[in-house]
Chain A
Amino acid sequence: MPDLGPHVVPVLAAYCISLVLLFGLVGASVLRARRVKRALDRAEGRSEDG
């Protein structure tokens, strides 16, 4: 861990908030991509059967 001196709270807060936002965005994008792909696969399957 580097020596952050008196600025340990602001520096760590900036990194934590940014990483939470970034991973949250990536996670939400990937989850929605998977959900929509599954739903489309099901709908195309029904469409071919019908």
Chain B
Amino acid sequence: MSFWEFANPRKFMAWTAPVLPWVSALAALALSVGLVWGFFFTPNDFRQGATVKIIYLHVPAAMMAINAWVMMLVASLIWLVRRHHVSALAARAAAPVGLVFTAMALLTGAIWGQPTWGTWWVWDPRLTSFFILFLFYLGYVALWQAIEDPDTAADLTSVLCLVGSVFAVLSRYAALFWNQGLHQGASLSLDKEENVADVFYIPLLFAIAGFVLVFVALVLVRTRTEIRARRLHALAMRERMANA
């Protein structure tokens, strides 16, 4: 069986039905372990105090905000090249999830920034590119809503996704490109000197795994809903034509 057959709507509905409960249960477990461990059972940082506990929300949300856009980019390219409807619907399904993660990263970042930097917001490269990514998410969701023909909507949103990818990349690497601004570089690093301390690191890994699995579960649920909504729309059109 070809890999692409998994993207057939009927096959997609069949293989995701048994997978979804497992992914959802794992997501709830990993997220609960990460957040409860991080909030209740990790010490305060010697410089940042208790605000370090925001890391278990801010870092995974920011990572997934960018990764969600990358997933949408891949799905959009598959739509543009191979015209697989499920890939276009998966990109559409992922957008509100990415939008919420981006809002979460911006809000927790502002709340963390106030006691750490003495300000809620600065127009530094990383924060600014992340805010523009948020606006692209809003535009992407609005564009899907605004266009009635689903194929035209998929085409135009795919192009928007390609353009917005510049800001997804910028928001990840802005601190490296410009080497200025308040936001520090990546929190996670293979370099032991630069990486967060082990006592924070393991619960953070659980929180990141939880966010990844929540994203996967929500995209599966929402893609299944989009497939059903499209079938519902087709049946409604058929009924209308039969009654005309």
User: Which residues of A are in contact with B by a Cβ distance under 8 Å?
Assistant: 2-8, 10-11, 13-15, 17-18, 21-22, 24-26, 29-30, 32-33, 36-37, 39-40, 43-44, 46-47, 50
CA distance A40 to B230 in the complex (A): 10
Nearest CB on B from A17, distance (A): 5
What residues of A have a CB within 8 angstroms of the CB of B107 in the complex? 14, 17-18, 21
Assembled-state Cα–Cα distance A11/B51 (Å): 6
Interface centre among A13, A14, A43 (most CB of B within 10 A): A14
A22 to B97, CA, bound (A): 9
- The smallest C-beta distance from B107 to any residue of chain A, in angstroms, reads 5
- The interface residues of chain A, by DSSP majority, are classed as helix
Contact B54 A10 (CB under 8 A): yes
B238 sits at the interface (CB 8 A):
yes
B139 lies within 8 A of chain A by Cβ: no
Q: Does B57 contact A (CB under 8 A)?
A: yes
In the complex, whether B241 has a CB less than 8 A from a CB of chain A is no
Q: List the B side residues contacting A21 at CB < 8 Å.
A: 100, 103-104, 107
Query: B29 to nearest A CB, angstroms?
Result: 15
A22 to B242 CA separation, bound complex (whole angstroms): 43
B49 touches A25 (CB 8 A): no
Among residues 97 to 143 in chain B, which have CB atoms less than 8 Å away from a CB atom of chain A?
97, 100, 103-104, 107-108, 111-112, 114-115
> Do B218 and A43 have beta carbons less than 8 Å apart?
no
* Pairwise interchain contact A18-B57, C-beta atoms closer than 8 A: yes
Q: Is there contact, CB below 8 Å, between B242 and A14?
A: no
A49–B235 CA distance with the chains assembled, in angstroms? 13
Asked, given contacts A14-B111, A44-B235, whether A25 binds B96 with beta carbons under 8 Å apart, the answer is yes
A15 to B108, CA, bound (A): 8
Among the listed B39, B221, B229, B238, which residue makes an inter-chain contact with A2, where contact means beta carbons less than 8 Å apart?
B39
